Amino acid sequence: MVDLSTALIHGDDKDNRVTDVAPPINVSTTFRYDDDDLIPWTERENLDFMEKKPVYSRLAHPNSTRLESIFSEILDGYAVIYSSGLAAFYAAMVHYNPKKIFIGQSYHGVRAIANILTRNYGIEQHPLEDIEKCASEGDIVHLESPVNPYGTSSDIESLARRAHAKGALLIVDSTFASPPLQYAWNFGADIVLYSATKYFGGHSDLLSGVLVVKEEATSRQLKDDRIYLGTNVANLESFMLLRSLRTYEMRITKQSENATKLVRFLSEHQSEFDKVLKTIYHSSLQTEEFVKKQLVGGYGPVFAITLYTKEQCKQLPLKLKYFHHATSLGGIESLVEWRAMTDPYIDQTLIRVSVGCESANDLIKDLASALKELQDAA
């Protein structure tokens, strides 16, 4: 296997259909049949032919195939691409069809899908603490690590042992620490999920998601299901994601370094903002041994802080120069979000910080200046 940086640039070379160095934008939704390959659908052994000879873009198209080639190589499994991270999670629920799902702290969109499945199909939801008590064969344990919006880590290996002892499968959402930061396979994950909207996309201009599984047969079934769920990634967004993947390693490495520096500064100077800055959350502040073992390539670029009042949460974004006040994360530009704007379950004094590729020194000065202004006004 080649190194990550090489795979990101050349992992789809085998899928070249034209002589262009940069993959072209394919806007067509339908493709002419090959006159030399007129085989009825029912006589096909499988649907792999669509990756070489596309038929209709809901099924597969040239750039979605290229994406799956790259992701399969860099994520060390069989990758299936989707229109969003939530679409990927929903596809996993449809495929594995669990009777029970065990979820800890997680993205509120995942919770919303679980609630829909409970309402419509009676799927039981349980906290992670209930695994030993009531998990059974075929159930799903879902873990985000690092977790949204805090950026803190959980012990994947320990949870995998607990899930597998009961016959359950472990899905790890590794969006907040995708490779080279963390390789969830190494700690017992059965399925790994990423919102490719975030760091893989990296420019706040596309939506996509990825499921990675260990068995080729499973990936084929997921692709078959995707045809009728209607959740393949769109043509233009797949082109933009391909473009983004070429520089992905450089971006996430810089973002990880920047976030670690910001968190270290805030931790060392927290007493200077004692009327404003209440709590700081990030994997780099955790002392458990498993954290460094999991995050072999660096800490995630997202952290969270809590302030003392909701009014301070409203004011902080207004006083920042280099952090946009917006939802989402993973782009080259730094963002802050008063998380209560979009998350109905969260502490209403929490600010999520997504660190970009700017100068760490400039970001530190900007954040320190805004906190000092609030401190002086408190």
pLDDT, tens digit, 9 for 90 and up, residues 284-305: 999 999 999 999 999 999 999 9
- Say yes or no to pLDDT of 260 above 90: yes
Amino acid 1: pLDDT: 74
Strands annotated E in the chain: 78-82, 100-103, 124-126, 140-144, 169-173, 191-195, 209-213, 277-281, 302-307, 324-325, 335-338, 350-354
Domain count, the chain: 2
Q: What is the mean pLDDT of residues 111-115?
A: 96
Q: Which domain holds residue 349?
A: 248-377
* Of the residues 245, 274, 301, the one at which a domain ends: 245
Report residue 18's pLDDT band, with 50, 70 and 90 as the boundaries. confident
Query: What's the average model confidence in pLDDT over 233-239?
Result: 96
**25 and 128 fall within a common domain:** yes
Both 46 and 99 in one domain: the answer is yes
Please report which confidence band the pLDDT of residue 344 belongs to, taking 50, 70 and 90 as the band edges: confident
CA torsion, points 215, 217, 222, 227, in degrees to nearest 10? 150
Of 193, 224, 245, the one marking the end of a domain is 245
**Which residue type is seen at 323?**
F
205 against 2, higher pLDDT: 205
Say whether 287 sits in a helix, a strand or coil: coil
Averaged pLDDT, 158-187 = 98
pLDDT at residue number 360? 98
| Last residue in a domain, options 220, 245, 270 | 245
Over 80: is that where the pLDDT of 40 sits?
yes
Tell whether 57 and 98 lie within a shared domain: yes
Residue 138, phi-psi category: left (phi > 0), alpha (psi -120 to 50), beta (remainder): left
Same structural domain, 195 and 277: no
Q: Is the pLDDT of residue 190 over 90?
A: yes
Question: Are residue 321 and residue 216 in the same domain, yes or no?
Answer: no
In DSSP terms, 126 is beta-bridged to 102
> What's residue 128's pLDDT?
97
Given pLDDT bands bounded at 50, 70 and 90, which one contains residue 345? confident
Question: What is the rounded CA–CA span in Å between residue 215 and residue 80?
Answer: 12
Residue 199 sits in the same domain as residue 252: no
Q: Are residues 207 and 322 in the same domain?
A: no
Same structural domain, 215 and 340: no
Helix/strand/coil for 303: strand
How far apart, in whole angstroms, are the C-alpha atoms of residue 91 and residue 331? 25
- CATH number at 364 reads 3.90.1150.10
